[in-house]
A = this chain, B = another copy of it.
Amino acid sequence: MNIYILLFQCRDQRGIVAKLADFLFKSGANIITADQYSTDPRGGYFFIRLEFIVDAASRSKSALEKGLGIIADKLGARFSLSDKHKPLRMGICVSKPGHCLAEILYLWRERELNVDIPFVISNFKGHRKFVGQYRIPFYFIPATKSNRRENALLKVVAKSTDFLVLSRYMLVLSKKFLSAYRKDIINIHHGFLPSFKGSSPYKQAFSSGVKVIGATCHFVTEKLDDGPIITQAVEHISHKDGLGDLVCKGRNLEKRALSDALRAYVDYRVIRHDNKTIVF
Protein backbone atom coordinates (compact mmCIF):
# COMPACT_ATOMS: atom_id res chain seq x y z
CA MET A 1 0.00 0.00 0.00
CA ASN A 2 1.29 3.46 -0.92
CA ILE A 3 0.19 6.79 0.45
CA TYR A 4 0.06 9.68 -1.98
CA ILE A 5 -0.65 13.35 -1.52
CA LEU A 6 -2.44 15.25 -4.23
CA LEU A 7 -2.36 19.06 -4.35
CA PHE A 8 -4.81 20.39 -6.89
CA GLN A 9 -5.77 23.98 -7.66
CA CYS A 10 -7.84 25.83 -10.23
CA ARG A 11 -10.51 28.48 -10.66
CA ASP A 12 -13.52 27.46 -8.60
CA GLN A 13 -16.22 25.64 -10.58
CA ARG A 14 -18.88 23.05 -9.96
CA GLY A 15 -17.95 19.39 -9.62
CA ILE A 16 -14.23 19.49 -8.88
CA VAL A 17 -14.47 17.39 -5.73
CA ALA A 18 -16.83 14.96 -7.47
CA LYS A 19 -14.47 14.46 -10.41
CA LEU A 20 -11.41 13.91 -8.25
CA ALA A 21 -13.16 11.68 -5.71
CA ASP A 22 -14.74 9.63 -8.44
CA PHE A 23 -11.42 9.13 -10.21
CA LEU A 24 -9.70 8.07 -7.00
CA PHE A 25 -12.52 5.72 -6.08
CA LYS A 26 -12.37 4.07 -9.46
CA SER A 27 -8.59 3.79 -9.11
CA GLY A 28 -9.06 1.76 -5.96
CA ALA A 29 -7.84 4.53 -3.68
CA ASN A 30 -9.19 5.38 -0.25
CA ILE A 31 -9.09 9.07 0.70
CA ILE A 32 -7.77 9.37 4.25
CA THR A 33 -7.50 13.15 4.55
CA ALA A 34 -9.21 15.89 2.60
CA ASP A 35 -8.51 19.59 3.08
CA GLN A 36 -10.08 22.14 0.87
CA TYR A 37 -10.16 25.91 0.65
CA SER A 38 -11.64 28.48 -1.70
CA THR A 39 -10.56 32.10 -1.68
CA ASP A 40 -14.13 33.11 -2.33
CA PRO A 41 -17.10 30.74 -2.15
CA ARG A 42 -18.78 32.52 -5.02
CA GLY A 43 -16.15 32.26 -7.68
CA GLY A 44 -12.59 32.47 -6.46
CA TYR A 45 -9.70 30.07 -6.54
CA PHE A 46 -10.03 26.47 -5.37
CA PHE A 47 -7.41 24.39 -3.55
CA ILE A 48 -7.56 20.84 -2.35
CA ARG A 49 -5.14 18.48 -0.64
CA LEU A 50 -6.06 14.82 -0.73
CA GLU A 51 -4.12 12.12 1.04
CA PHE A 52 -5.05 8.64 -0.11
CA ILE A 53 -3.98 5.04 0.18
CA VAL A 54 -3.78 2.89 -2.89
CA ASP A 55 -2.62 -0.62 -3.54
CA ALA A 56 0.68 -0.32 -5.40
CA ALA A 57 -0.16 -3.36 -7.47
CA SER A 58 -3.44 -1.93 -8.70
CA ARG A 59 -2.34 1.51 -9.82
CA SER A 60 1.13 2.98 -10.40
CA LYS A 61 2.01 6.58 -9.65
CA SER A 62 2.38 7.39 -13.33
CA ALA A 63 -1.02 5.89 -14.09
CA LEU A 64 -2.55 8.08 -11.39
CA GLU A 65 -0.74 11.12 -12.75
CA LYS A 66 -2.00 10.43 -16.22
CA GLY A 67 -5.59 10.20 -15.06
CA LEU A 68 -5.30 13.30 -12.92
CA GLY A 69 -3.71 15.12 -15.84
CA ILE A 70 -6.80 14.55 -17.94
CA ILE A 71 -9.06 15.97 -15.23
CA ALA A 72 -6.72 18.90 -14.67
CA ASP A 73 -6.68 19.75 -18.35
CA LYS A 74 -10.46 19.95 -18.46
CA LEU A 75 -10.59 22.17 -15.39
CA GLY A 76 -7.60 24.34 -16.24
CA ALA A 77 -5.93 23.13 -13.07
CA ARG A 78 -2.40 22.61 -11.78
CA PHE A 79 -1.58 19.65 -9.59
CA SER A 80 1.23 17.67 -8.03
CA LEU A 81 1.20 14.11 -6.80
CA SER A 82 3.74 13.10 -4.17
CA ASP A 83 4.73 9.97 -2.39
CA LYS A 84 4.10 10.70 1.29
CA HIS A 85 6.99 8.68 2.58
CA LYS A 86 9.61 9.65 0.04
CA PRO A 87 11.63 12.38 1.72
CA LEU A 88 12.34 15.66 -0.05
CA ARG A 89 15.97 16.69 -0.41
CA MET A 90 16.48 19.84 1.67
CA GLY A 91 19.59 21.94 1.21
CA ILE A 92 20.63 24.14 4.13
CA CYS A 93 22.45 27.48 3.91
CA VAL A 94 23.58 29.06 7.14
CA SER A 95 25.76 31.93 8.31
CA LYS A 96 27.21 32.27 11.78
CA PRO A 97 24.08 32.02 14.00
CA GLY A 98 23.73 28.27 14.44
CA HIS A 99 20.62 27.77 16.61
CA CYS A 100 18.24 27.08 13.73
CA LEU A 101 20.76 24.74 12.13
CA ALA A 102 21.09 22.82 15.40
CA GLU A 103 17.32 22.55 15.73
CA ILE A 104 16.82 21.26 12.20
CA LEU A 105 19.60 18.70 12.40
CA TYR A 106 18.28 17.45 15.73
CA LEU A 107 14.73 17.08 14.39
CA TRP A 108 16.10 15.32 11.32
CA ARG A 109 18.09 12.84 13.40
CA GLU A 110 15.09 12.16 15.63
CA ARG A 111 13.01 11.54 12.50
CA GLU A 112 10.66 14.38 13.41
CA LEU A 113 11.45 16.02 10.10
CA ASN A 114 11.07 13.73 7.11
CA VAL A 115 13.80 15.00 4.75
CA ASP A 116 17.11 14.02 3.26
CA ILE A 117 19.83 16.59 3.87
CA PRO A 118 22.40 16.35 1.09
CA PHE A 119 24.66 19.03 2.60
CA VAL A 120 25.01 22.13 4.72
CA ILE A 121 26.53 25.19 3.04
CA SER A 122 27.95 27.98 5.13
CA ASN A 123 30.02 31.09 4.83
CA PHE A 124 31.10 30.42 8.42
CA LYS A 125 33.73 27.72 8.79
CA GLY A 126 33.00 27.19 12.45
CA HIS A 127 30.00 24.95 11.73
CA ARG A 128 32.10 22.27 10.03
CA LYS A 129 32.69 20.16 13.11
CA PHE A 130 29.13 20.36 14.37
CA VAL A 131 27.71 19.35 11.00
CA GLY A 132 30.27 16.57 10.72
CA GLN A 133 28.91 15.00 13.89
CA TYR A 134 25.73 14.33 11.96
CA ARG A 135 27.70 12.81 9.05
CA ILE A 136 26.32 15.39 6.65
CA PRO A 137 28.63 16.90 4.00
CA PHE A 138 29.66 20.47 4.80
CA TYR A 139 30.67 22.97 2.14
CA PHE A 140 32.37 26.19 3.08
CA ILE A 141 31.61 28.87 0.52
CA PRO A 142 33.18 32.14 1.70
CA ALA A 143 30.38 34.33 0.39
CA THR A 144 30.27 37.96 1.50
CA LYS A 145 28.12 40.96 0.72
CA SER A 146 30.52 42.10 -1.93
CA ASN A 147 31.02 38.64 -3.42
CA ARG A 148 28.06 36.36 -2.88
CA ARG A 149 29.57 33.51 -4.90
CA GLU A 150 26.18 32.54 -6.18
CA ASN A 151 27.58 30.53 -9.04
CA ALA A 152 29.39 28.25 -6.64
CA LEU A 153 26.26 28.03 -4.57
CA LEU A 154 24.07 27.24 -7.53
CA LYS A 155 26.39 24.53 -8.71
CA VAL A 156 26.01 22.70 -5.40
CA VAL A 157 22.28 23.13 -4.93
CA ALA A 158 20.81 23.01 -8.44
CA LYS A 159 20.48 19.29 -8.94
CA SER A 160 20.93 17.87 -5.49
CA THR A 161 18.02 19.57 -3.73
CA ASP A 162 14.24 19.80 -3.96
CA PHE A 163 14.15 22.99 -1.92
CA LEU A 164 16.47 25.23 0.06
CA VAL A 165 16.31 26.50 3.63
CA LEU A 166 18.04 29.71 4.60
CA SER A 167 18.56 28.88 8.24
CA ARG A 168 19.80 32.34 9.21
CA TYR A 169 21.78 32.91 6.02
CA MET A 170 22.69 36.55 6.16
CA LEU A 171 23.10 37.24 2.46
CA VAL A 172 20.34 38.24 0.09
CA LEU A 173 20.01 35.96 -2.93
CA SER A 174 19.87 37.76 -6.25
CA LYS A 175 17.01 37.73 -8.70
CA LYS A 176 19.34 35.91 -11.05
CA PHE A 177 19.95 33.14 -8.55
CA LEU A 178 16.23 32.75 -7.88
CA SER A 179 15.48 32.45 -11.59
CA ALA A 180 18.20 29.90 -12.06
CA TYR A 181 17.28 27.77 -9.05
CA ARG A 182 13.53 27.97 -9.68
CA LYS A 183 12.52 25.79 -6.70
CA ASP A 184 11.21 26.91 -3.32
CA ILE A 185 13.51 28.72 -0.92
CA ILE A 186 12.36 29.08 2.68
CA ASN A 187 13.81 31.76 4.93
CA ILE A 188 13.55 32.37 8.64
CA HIS A 189 13.44 36.07 9.45
CA HIS A 190 14.18 37.04 13.02
CA GLY A 191 11.44 39.61 13.25
CA PHE A 192 7.69 39.96 13.16
CA LEU A 193 7.09 40.83 9.52
CA PRO A 194 6.00 43.13 7.99
CA SER A 195 7.52 45.16 10.82
CA PHE A 196 11.27 45.17 11.16
CA LYS A 197 12.47 44.08 7.75
CA GLY A 198 16.15 43.95 6.92
CA SER A 199 18.97 43.69 9.39
CA SER A 200 18.98 43.91 13.19
CA PRO A 201 15.25 43.38 13.64
CA TYR A 202 15.66 42.76 17.37
CA LYS A 203 17.42 46.09 17.71
CA GLN A 204 14.56 47.69 15.81
CA ALA A 205 12.02 45.96 18.05
CA PHE A 206 13.91 46.97 21.19
CA SER A 207 14.10 50.62 20.13
CA SER A 208 10.46 50.78 19.22
CA GLY A 209 9.28 49.57 22.61
CA VAL A 210 6.97 46.81 21.36
CA LYS A 211 5.53 44.45 23.94
CA VAL A 212 5.44 41.40 21.65
CA ILE A 213 8.23 40.08 19.46
CA GLY A 214 8.07 37.53 16.69
CA ALA A 215 9.82 35.48 14.07
CA THR A 216 8.57 34.84 10.56
CA CYS A 217 9.17 31.94 8.21
CA HIS A 218 8.43 32.78 4.58
CA PHE A 219 9.21 31.93 0.98
CA VAL A 220 11.98 33.94 -0.57
CA THR A 221 11.04 36.26 -3.39
CA GLU A 222 12.90 39.04 -5.11
CA LYS A 223 11.83 41.61 -2.55
CA LEU A 224 13.74 41.40 0.71
CA ASP A 225 11.78 39.80 3.58
CA ASP A 226 8.58 40.12 1.65
CA GLY A 227 7.64 36.67 0.35
CA PRO A 228 4.52 34.70 1.31
CA ILE A 229 4.47 34.01 5.05
CA ILE A 230 4.20 30.37 6.15
CA THR A 231 4.34 30.65 9.95
CA GLN A 232 4.86 33.28 12.60
CA ALA A 233 5.72 32.72 16.24
CA VAL A 234 5.27 35.42 18.86
CA GLU A 235 6.04 36.01 22.53
CA HIS A 236 5.24 38.73 25.03
CA ILE A 237 8.13 40.77 26.38
CA SER A 238 8.36 43.46 29.03
CA HIS A 239 10.48 46.50 29.80
CA LYS A 240 12.77 44.17 31.76
CA ASP A 241 13.90 42.47 28.57
CA GLY A 242 17.08 44.02 27.29
CA LEU A 243 18.39 43.59 23.79
CA GLY A 244 20.17 40.40 24.85
CA ASP A 245 16.94 38.93 26.19
CA LEU A 246 15.17 39.74 22.95
CA VAL A 247 17.85 37.96 20.96
CA CYS A 248 17.64 34.98 23.27
CA LYS A 249 13.84 34.75 23.26
CA GLY A 250 13.87 35.44 19.57
CA ARG A 251 16.06 32.41 18.90
CA ASN A 252 13.39 30.21 20.40
CA LEU A 253 10.77 31.87 18.24
CA GLU A 254 12.88 31.35 15.15
CA LYS A 255 13.35 27.68 15.93
CA ARG A 256 9.63 27.27 16.50
CA ALA A 257 8.48 29.15 13.41
CA LEU A 258 11.03 27.40 11.20
CA SER A 259 10.42 23.86 12.42
CA ASP A 260 6.63 24.28 12.19
CA ALA A 261 6.97 25.62 8.66
CA LEU A 262 9.32 22.87 7.53
CA ARG A 263 7.15 20.14 8.99
CA ALA A 264 4.15 21.53 7.13
CA TYR A 265 6.12 22.04 3.94
CA VAL A 266 7.56 18.55 3.69
CA ASP A 267 4.12 17.12 4.38
CA TYR A 268 2.84 19.06 1.34
CA ARG A 269 0.51 21.12 3.47
CA VAL A 270 1.79 24.50 2.25
CA ILE A 271 0.47 26.07 -0.94
CA ARG A 272 1.67 29.40 -2.30
CA HIS A 273 -0.99 31.61 -3.83
CA ASP A 274 -0.13 35.14 -4.90
CA ASN A 275 1.58 36.78 -1.92
CA LYS A 276 0.01 34.46 0.65
CA THR A 277 0.08 30.84 1.71
CA ILE A 278 -2.54 28.28 2.48
CA VAL A 279 -1.31 26.00 5.26
CA PHE A 280 -3.57 22.99 5.66
Known: A14-B30, A15-B25, A102-B106. A212 touches B192 (CB 8 A): yes
B residues less than 8 Å from A195 (CB atoms)? 192, 194-195
B residues less than 8 Å from A248 (CB atoms)? 112
Interface size on A, residues (CB 8 A): 67
CA A51 to CA B20, docked complex, whole Å: 17
- Asked if A34 lies at the interface with its beta carbon under 8 angstroms from chain B, I say yes
B194 close to A208 (CB less than 8 A): yes
Contact mask A191-205 → B, CB, 8 Å, 1/0?
011111000000000
A194 close to B210 (CB less than 8 A): yes
- Asked if A276 lies at the interface with its beta carbon under 8 angstroms from chain B, I say yes
CB<8 Å pairs between A and B, sample of 10: A12-B30, A13-B30, A17-B21, A33-B41, A34-B34, A34-B35, A37-B240, A98-B110, A194-B196, A212-B234
In chain B, what residue has the closest Cβ to A130? B133
- Asked if A38 lies at the interface with its beta carbon under 8 angstroms from chain B, I say yes
A239 close to B278 (CB less than 8 A): yes
B residues less than 8 Å from A209 (CB atoms)? 228-229, 275-277
- Asked if A190 lies at the interface with its beta carbon under 8 angstroms from chain B, I say no
- Asked if A81 lies at the interface with its beta carbon under 8 angstroms from chain B, I say no
B residues less than 8 Å from A57 (CB atoms)? none
Closest 7 CB pairs of A and B: A209-B276, A32-B41, A18-B21, A18-B25, A34-B36, A17-B21, A239-B278
- Asked if A211 lies at the interface with its beta carbon under 8 angstroms from chain B, I say yes
In chain B, what residue has the closest Cβ to A239? B278
In chain B, what residue has the closest Cβ to A103? B106
- Asked if A48 lies at the interface with its beta carbon under 8 angstroms from chain B, I say yes
Closest chain-B Cβ to A230's Cβ sits at a distance in Å of 8
- Asked if A9 lies at the interface with its beta carbon under 8 angstroms from chain B, I say no
A239 close to B30 (CB less than 8 A): no
